């Protein structure tokens, strides 16, 4: 890919440079022909018009053109610039401001023709098509003055000039192309070097290597692209790590109840243990745990793809908290946990899914029952704060360290001191609770509780979430 881009960039710049060189040569040629030579042609026409009256006066004085044929010096006198003396010296020529036509040798390009346009004197090579003016004396055309155009005079010199110009433009063009090629290669390598590195990195990511990183030295768009790639690779690496941990945790959580059930079945099959109510209840406990785990995983998968159904209506949070805690009252007493519930006196209504919120509160109560030490406390406060409903759930020891607070909503996370499978949890309750809160447009945050345990801060918007 980089070589392909270098080749494309190289030939693109090369073609552009070649086009510019050719266009400059063509423009210089056109400008020279239409500009400078056109200017000289206009000066020649002026000189031609100025010379005709002089020849007419000379013809009137002599009565014919014989005086020029007999003495060519008379021709040179008539053709000399008007501001030069009859016998000019070098100093006279130097002092005289000659016209452009005189400086370009116009007098040597005049041709004198008689009334029948036959050659009399002057340049014999003017040819047909050259500009000419009649010489009129007393209303009668006595001759013609024709002038060889400047373009014809310089045909030979022009060819040499053109060749010189072509060689100059060719040399300049070759140098420009070589310089463009050199600069293109340097620029292409400096620009495409990071792209080549990104290509190798993306190839590595494509085969599953998420640990690769690229340099972020540049401060331009390529540098920003490198930073974005590194962030993407970091996210992919983190996601891959989470995926592996998730698969390992799911395998562990599913394998444990299945292994217990398998062992129970083997004991019953071998007759070591009789099939009685205790055996059936033991199997039922493991089956219930397995069913709960599968249901939680299903709920999380629906939440991840946005397929978890929410049927919202007006729900009284006060009444919902009261009925949910009443349902857990017996289990709280059995766990020796004291419940402190502070609710508003008046109804506090929000637009929410009652079933999902009941699941949320049940998860939080279940979390406290599983992990709070016997003789502990659970405090639940509910109040309205401006346009939000504030629900604070605080329990007593054991607490969670700072690292645990950051990972508390990760799937299958269980802190070393307070969360373990002996408590019966799989580490999915709080992740499900977070998905329910966020689906209602709210927030949930874990803090250290003043009672020594965990403090869950929930904020739900009042009205349509």
Give per-residue pLDDT as tens, 320-333. Answer: 999 999 999 998 99
Predicted confidence band of residue 34 (pLDDT cuts 50, 70, 90):
low
> Do the Cβ atoms of 124 and 111 come closer than 8 Å?
yes
Cα–Cα distance for residue pair 255/15, rounded to 1 Å:
69
Of the pLDDT bands very low, low, confident and very high (cuts 50, 70, 90), residue 180 is confident
Backbone φ, ψ for residue 382 (5° rounding):
-135, 130
Q: Report the number of secondary-structure helices (H) and strands (E) in the chain.
A: 15, 11
Q: Which of 367, 440, 379, 370 is nearest to 408 (CA)?
A: 367
Collapse the DSSP code of 252 into the 3-class scheme (helix H, G, I; strand E, B; otherwise coil) and give the result. helix
Give the DSSP H or E segment for 225.
helix 221-270
For range 72-83, the mean pLDDT:
72
Helix axis angle, 317-327 relative to 354-371, nearest 10°? 40
Question: How far apart, in whole angstroms, are the C-alpha atoms of residue 380 and residue 456?
Answer: 10
Q: How many CB atoms lie within 10 A of CB 172?
A: 13
- The tens digit of pLDDT for each residue in 122-144 reads 877 766 667 788 989 888 898 98
Q: How far apart are CA 264 and CA 286, in angstroms?
A: 10
The full 3-state SS of 9-68, as one line of letters, equals HHHHHHHHHHHHHHHHHHHHHHHHHHHHHHHHHHHHHHHHHHHHHHHHHHHHHHCCCHHH
Q: How far apart are CA 379 and CA 185, in angstroms?
A: 72
- What is the Cα–Cα distance from 103 to 122, expressed in whole angstroms? 18
What pLDDT was estimated at residue 98?
43
- Please return the burial class of 40, using the count of CB atoms within 10 Å of its CB with bins 0-12, 13-18 and 19+: buried
How many Å apart are CA 37 and CA 41, to the nearest integer? Answer: 6
Q: Which structure tokens are listed for 458?
A: 């929930």
Distances (CA, A) of 263 to 75, 256, 273, 277: 137, 11, 11, 17
Residue 108, number of CB atoms within 10 A of its CB: 12
- Please answer whether residues 194 and 218 qualify as being in contact, where contact means their C-beta atoms are separated by less than 8 angstroms: yes
CB burial of 297-307 (b: ≥16 within 10 Å; e: otherwise) equals: bebbeebeeee
On the question of pLDDT at 37 being above 80, the answer is no
The pLDDT of residue 132 is: 82
Predicted confidence band of residue 378 (pLDDT cuts 50, 70, 90)? very high
Is the pLDDT reported for residue 49 higher than 70? yes
User: What pLDDT shows up at residue 94?
Assistant: 46
Q: HSE-up of 398 (CA within 13 Å, CB side)?
A: 14
Does 82 score more than 60 pLDDT? no
pLDDT on residue 129:
65
Three-class secondary structure of residue 411 per DSSP: coil
Which pTM does this prediction carry?
Answer: 0.47
**Going by C-beta distance under 8 Å and a sequence separation of 6 or more, which residues neighbour residue 264?**
273, 279, 282, 283, 286
Cβ(407)–Cβ(277) below 8 Å: no
DSSP 57-111: HHHHHHSSSHHHHH-HHHHHHHHS-TTS-SS--HHHHHHS---HHHHTTGGGGEE
pLDDT at 100: 42
């Amino acid at each position: 890919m980089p070589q392909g881009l270098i080749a494309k960039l190289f030939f693109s710049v090369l073609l552009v440079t070649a086009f510019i060189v050719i266009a400059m040569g063509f423009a210089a040629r056109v400008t020279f022909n239409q500009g400078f030579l056109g200017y000289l042609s206009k000066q020649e026409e002026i000189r031609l018009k100025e010379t005709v009256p002089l020849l007419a006066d000379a013809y009137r004085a002599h009565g014919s053109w014989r005086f020029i044929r007999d003495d060519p010096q008379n021709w040179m006198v008539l053709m000399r610039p008007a501001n030069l003396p009859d016998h000019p010296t070098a100093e006279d020529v130097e002092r005289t401001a000659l016209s452009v036509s005189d400086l370009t040798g116009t007098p040597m390009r005049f041709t004198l023709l008689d009334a029948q346009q036959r050659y009399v004197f002057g340049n014999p090579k003017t040819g047909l098509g050259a500009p000419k003016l009649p010489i009129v004396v007393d209303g009668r055309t006595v001759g013609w003055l024709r002038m060889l155009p400047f373009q014809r005079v310089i045909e030979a010199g022009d060819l040499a000039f053109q060749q010189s110009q072509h060689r100059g433009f060719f040399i300049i063009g070759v140098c420009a192309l070589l310089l463009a090629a050199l600069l293109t290669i340097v620029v292409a390598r400096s620009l495409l070097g990071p792209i080549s590195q990104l290509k190798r990195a993306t190839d590595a990511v494509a085969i599953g290597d998420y640990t690769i990183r690229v340099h972020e030295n540049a401060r331009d768009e390529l540098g920003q692209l490198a930073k974005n790639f590194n962030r993407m690779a970091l996210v992919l690496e983190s996601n891959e790590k989470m995926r592996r941990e998730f698969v390992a945790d799911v395998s562990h959580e599913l394998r444990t109840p299945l292994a217990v059930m398998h062992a129970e079945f083997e004991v019953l099959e071998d007759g070591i243990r009789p099939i009685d109510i205790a055996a059936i209840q033991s199997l039922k406990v493991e089956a219930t745990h397995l069913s709960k785990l599968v249901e939680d995983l299903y709920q999380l998968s629906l939440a991840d793809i946005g397929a978890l159904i929410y049927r919202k209506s007006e729900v009284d949070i006060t009444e919902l908290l009261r009925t949910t805690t009443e349902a857990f009252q017996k289990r709280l007493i059995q766990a020796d946990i004291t419940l402190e519930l502070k609710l508003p006196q008046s109804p506090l209504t929000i637009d929410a899914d009652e079933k999902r919120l009941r699941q949320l509160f049940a998860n939080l109560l279940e979390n406290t029952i599983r992990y709070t030490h016997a003789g502990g406390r659970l405090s639940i406060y509910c109040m309205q704060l401006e346009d939000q409903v504030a629900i604070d759930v605080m329990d007593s020891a054991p607490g969670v360290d700072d690292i645990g607070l950051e990972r508390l909503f990760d799937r299958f996370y269980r802190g070393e001191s307070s969360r373990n499978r002996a408590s019966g949890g799989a580490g999915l309750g709080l992740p499900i609770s977070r998905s329910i809160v966020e689906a209602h447009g709210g927030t949930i945050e874990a803090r250290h509780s003043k009672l020594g345990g965990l403090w869950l801060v929930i904020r739900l918007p009042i009205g349509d979430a």
